Amino acid sequence: MKRLTPYLLALPSWMWLAIFLVVPMVAMASVSLQTGNAIDGFVMTFSFSNFGDALSRYSTQLLRSLLYGGLATLAMLLIGYPVAYWIAFKAGARKSMYLFLLLLPFFVSFVLRTISWSFLLADNGILFGTLKSWGVLPEGFHVLATTVAVVGGLTYNFLPFMILPIYVALERVDPRVVEAAQDLYASRTAAFRRVVLPLSLPGVFAGVLMTFVPATADPVNAQVLGGTENTMIGNIIQTAYLTNLDYPTASALSFTLMAVLLVGIFVYARALGTENVLEAAAR
């Protein structure tokens, strides 16, 4: 029983993953190889051409999604790291309050938060309408239905997922290590670059993974804040599933997106140095 105890304890988790992850993935893989339509039904024909057809038709949207997800992730890293650093080292006894304020928007629906940005960024809305009436901005100025609006919405909605892992990693940094580096005549910049930054890499690694994947596949921001020229692959998959009822194409696109994201994650882990990250996390 002692040998079986670890496996028995992990059994509920494995069953949960099998039922709600493995089974849907297998079903989607089966659908991606079928042909037919919603009226006459779909038949398994092992049509691997579905993947090639879907990729050739929607390669522009796929590349645009990767670009938007990458830009949003970079913006979140540039904004989130200083915020996490300040909360970890400068906030003092008010850390819990700042973290609560950071998570406060999550008490509102994701869709409602995105729609509120569409009102804020409207051509004649509260912000730009007022600036135009003051003569600060020209009448033709607009942000909605642009790349800036979509990337900005992605950055806003997923920013806490970047800040929190970095904060956890920075919170574990022993201040005495930084003081020791300064005692050895390291400047603040050198101490940050040689001590703090390497120790925070596990948080950066986790933050990038937690933001890049959902930001690339997100259909809401492009639909609410973007236009016809800002369609992302998530919008295509949603339309194929729910409107066109083209399940094989939607499934093939879903698997293609997942494969591209997995390759990007492995390349990113290789470039960052997964072993170094895991060693830093263990310490």
Q: What is the pLDDT of residue 275?
A: 52
Q: What is the pLDDT of residue 278?
A: 47
- 25-77, pLDDT tens digit by residue? 999 999 999 998 888 889 999 999 999 998 899 999 999 999 999 999 999 99
Burial of 133 (0-12, 13-18, 19+ CB in 10 A): exposed
Long-range contacts at 23-30 (CB < 8 A, ≥ 24 apart): 28/251, 28/254, 28/255, 29/251, 29/255
CB 211 within 8 A of CB 76: yes
Amino acid at residue number 93: A
CB 76 within 8 A of CB 155: yes
Q: What is the pLDDT of residue 212?
A: 93
- 113-123, pLDDT tens digit by residue? 999 998 888 88
List 42's β-bridge partners, or say none. 36
- Distance CA(261)–CA(255), nearest Å, equals 10
Mean of the per-residue pLDDT values of the chain = 88
| C-alpha closest to that of 162 among 224, 85, 63, 264 | 85
pLDDT bracket for residue 91 (50, 70, 90): confident
pLDDT bracket for residue 176 (50, 70, 90): confident
**Stated pTM of the model:** 0.87
User: Domain 67-282 is of which CATH architecture?
Assistant: Orthogonal Bundle (1.10)
Q: What is the pLDDT of residue 90?
A: 87
Burial of 44-79, coded b for 16+ CB within 10 Å and e otherwise, reads eeebeebbeebeeebeebbebbbebbbbbbebbbee
Amino acid at residue number 77: L
DSSP helix, strand, coil percent of the chain (3-state; round to 5): 80, 5, 20
Work out the angle at residue 243's Cα, subtended by the Cα atoms of residues 239 and 247, and round it to the nearest 5 degrees: 75
* Tokens 């596949």 found at: 217
- 10-25, pLDDT tens digit by residue? 999 999 999 998 999 9
Dmax (CA) for the chain in angstroms is 78
Give residue limits of the domains in the chain: 67-282
pLDDT bracket for residue 280 (50, 70, 90): very low
Burial of 158 (0-12, 13-18, 19+ CB in 10 A): buried
